[in-house]
Structure 1
Amino acid sequence: MANDRLREAVLNAGLTPLSLAERVGVSPKTAERWITLNRVPYPRHRHAIAGLLKERESYLWPNAASPERVARVAESEVVHVYSRRSAVPYDLWRRLIEQSSERIGILVYAGLFLPELVPTLIRDLQERALAAVDVRLLLGNPESEAVAQRGAEEGIGDAIAGKVRNVMAFYNQLQDVPGVHARFHSTTLYNSIYRFDNEMLVNTHAYGFPAAHAPVFHLRRLSGGDLFDTYADSFDRVWSSAAPIWPPPVAG
């Protein structure tokens, strides 16, 4: 059976089995067997290929690593654990935003604290988007049952819906910026997710407590890990089921 994932990744990278072999330092026949016969490369070659093709090892070779190794790598993806959101350093937020070069994703119900914490957030997101960074904002639909339920669980009534409307006063300034997309979701939010390229802050949610009082995991994606990708996939699932907040631009 051929490794179609590897074949497609090689083609998407503008390479051939021959050029892949040259870049990795193996014989063309070896590289061809990786693709046509689904032979699994040595770990050092898997790491080099994944970096070259900008794909995850676990995607290209799902069964190559033992469960024990996957678990160890996942542990290494945890950079730091903060006991509560307020403990996340301001400088970390700034670095993650300013150094993003490919994508920024924010999944919250309201997340009103962020533009209050980072006064230049709207300008920063605009600059990142104009630099070809894909900016995706996922906010809770203020009319949804999920948002109302969260407010009830925290004992604050419809305050979260009000916060969503308040934070929109900030994000609406980005409505006409190319590369910025915003959607309302109506999902039960188990975690707030803030993604910046291959780093992520995951704010866990605890029943009866506001997100500000719950722990935050700082994650950094590793090629052979799956912890980061679990939350990245969760973000994508919510995005796919959410509805655009802003109307599509009118063609001139």
Structure 2
Amino acid sequence: MAFFRFLWKNSIYLLVNIIILLLGAYLIKSGTCLDVNSSDQSNSTISISIGTSLIAASIVMFLDLFRQLSISRIFAQLQNIVYDAGLQHIYKKRDIDKYDDLVSEMSSSLDIVGYSLGAFFESYSDILQVKTNKNPVNLRIMLVDPDSLFSKNRAQNELKSEGAFREKITTMLRFFKGNSKVEIRFFHSPISSMIFRIDKVMFVGPHFYKKQSKATTTMEIKQGHWLFEEYQQEFERMWADASPVDDTKMGL
């Protein structure tokens, strides 16, 4: 269907090309029919030369048409992959400088899910505390239950001690304790992706086996596109199944 739509869109170009091809064939045929031993020999040569040139030009035009078709297909794929999905950038690592400006300029809300979010807390705990105290900014932080096997196994996969995540999470809980703008919940299943949304910009990425999260591929996606909505819905589903933190269990 895409092929026929392309031809219809370029129907005038195609029609002109066919006319040139037929004209070239006609001139060649006319030239070969002339008596080469007569005074028409020069006309025959001219006719064949022009006809040959027209056919050559027509072939070039046909090749250019198919080149355009190939390019249009590539752009159609890119539009689906990049534009329609809302994909803005792909980074080789999770720890990127762009977070700094987005967090500093944040005006509405932040959602994030991870296993320990140690690097996130170390980098932005102070500014988030200030923003939530002085601005109408709300934070939803979701962490895999540090006492679950999922969390312990992930810590080992990242070559960390079994209790490394619990220690970092406890520090975070104590820091934000009493802040009504910050809600922290525990998720009781493994997570396949990191989701980090700052207002209208979202960063997502996989959790690779035996590779630290901060060194893992990350995609930046924009609100208003289907990929953003897909991950936002995933966060909402997980958030609904997550449970509030038991302060007593965490020793708070």
Same fold flag (TM > 0.5)? yes
1:1-252 equivalence runs, <5 A: 73-75=83-85, 77-86=86-95, 88-89=96-97, 92-116=98-122, 118=123, 121-130=124-133, 131-156=135-160, 158=162, 161-222=163-224, 225-245=225-245
Aligned residue type for 1:74: D
Q: Confirm or deny: 8 A CA contact 1:140 1:164 kept in the other structure.
A: no
Q: Confirm or deny: 8 A CA contact 2:144 2:190 kept in the other structure.
A: no
Counterparts in 2 of 1:72 and 1:210: CA distance versus 1, 3 Å: closer
Task: Compute the displacement of 1:80 (Å).
Answer: 1.0
TM-score if structure 1 supplies the norm length? 0.60
TM-score if structure 2 supplies the norm length? 0.60
Counterparts in 2 of 1:156 and 1:174: CA distance versus 1, 3 Å: closer
| Uncovered stretches (5+) of structure 2, i.e. residues with no partner | 1-77, 248-252
User: What's the C-alpha RMSD, in Å, of the aligned pairs?
Assistant: 2.4
Q: Confirm or deny: 8 A CA contact 2:187 2:243 kept in the other structure.
A: yes
Paired residues, what number?
170
Task: Compute the displacement of 1:239 (Å).
Answer: 1.0
**Separation of aligned partners in 2, 1:123 and 1:151:** 25
Give per-residue Cα distances to partners, 1:174-222, cap 9 Å, x unaligned: 2111211111112211111111111011132112222122101111112
Task: Compute the displacement of 1:155 (Å).
Answer: 4.7
Bigger proportion of residues as helix: 2
Question: Which structure's CA Rg is the greater one?
Answer: 2
Q: Which aligned segments of 4 or more residues in structure 1 are displaced greater than 4 angstroms?
A: 68-72
Q: Tell me: higher relative CO, structure 1 or 2? Use CA pairs within 8 A at least 6 residues apart.
A: 1
Match of 2:24 in 1: none
Aligned residue type for 1:203: G
Give per-residue Cα distances to partners, 1:64-107, cap 9 Å, x unaligned: xxxx97766434x1111111224x12xx1122212222211120
**Separation of aligned partners in 2, 1:219 and 1:69:** 14
